[in-house]
Structure 1
């Protein structure tokens, strides 16, 4: 009986077409986290963006701390000549927060009055200027669920710098990931 079963298994194995196949190629695995994990823990409490043009470096830092949003625009002159800007009025810079559709939720200069005269500002050689804005926690609480992007810029210059509003995710749970792959070849 044992001999018969062994013969039967071998015969079936030979007669059934192979299910597996082989080929040459390569694969790339990709994993994306799509959830956090159950209590409020900062995922990123600080975001940063920078741009350099000629000898000028602009850096935008946005930090969420204790329910308040802190924004800082730092403009550095790394050149050997002073960096001068002419302005249409007394306002030198601005910060804007927008939603996912690009609609303005908040702007630092709203409801402010500035000198209505031509002005100029300059940054000395190998020096920098820092412009800081703090968004009050009461105002931030009203817009935080819709706020996506912070944009900062020096007025009367062609450059604007944007970064995402820092986000919060859940903790103490099971993270969820989407895993996929790209197969190249056969």
Structure 2
């Protein structure tokens, strides 16, 4: 999801367990997700995790049957233009990467 308001852009990735049983997401460290923004030439202009520190311990997240969780962050774009968001769930056992093109005016 891309939501713009007040000069910032809000990104969100929803992770849903559509199965009928509980699922355990396993993470190798505290970085459960990440967001990167690429410009129209494909160059990375922002990464949420850049410069952040994360715990080094293993982490898990239980999702009950038909449950979901949302990871969201905010970005302040440098200029209008065409961009691509790369949203990633950093789970060892259920890794997900999604790309979405968007434009800012």
TM-score by shorter chain over 0.5: yes
Matched, 1:163 2:100: yes
What TM-score do the two structures reach when normalised by structure 1?
0.51
4+ residue runs over 2 A deviation: 144-147, 156-159, 165-168
* Higher helix fraction (1 or 2): 1
Picking from 140, 148, 157, the partner of 2:83 is 148
Paired positions, count: 103
Question: Which one has a bigger Cα radius of gyration?
Answer: 1
- Pairwise CA RMSD of aligned residues? 1.7
- Equivalents in 2 of 1:146, 1:132: separation in Å? 22
Q: Deviations over 1:93-146 (max 9, x none)?
A: 1111011232211011111111111222221111110111111x4xx2x2x345
Q: Contact 2:81/2:104 (CA < 8 Å) preserved in 1? A: no
Trace 1:94-133 onto structure 2 (pairs within 5 A): 94-133=34-73
Q: Contact 2:24/2:62 (CA < 8 Å) preserved in 1? A: yes
* Higher strand fraction (1 or 2): 2
Alignment-derived partner of residue 25 in structure 2: 85
- Equivalents in 2 of 1:74, 1:63: separation in Å? 14
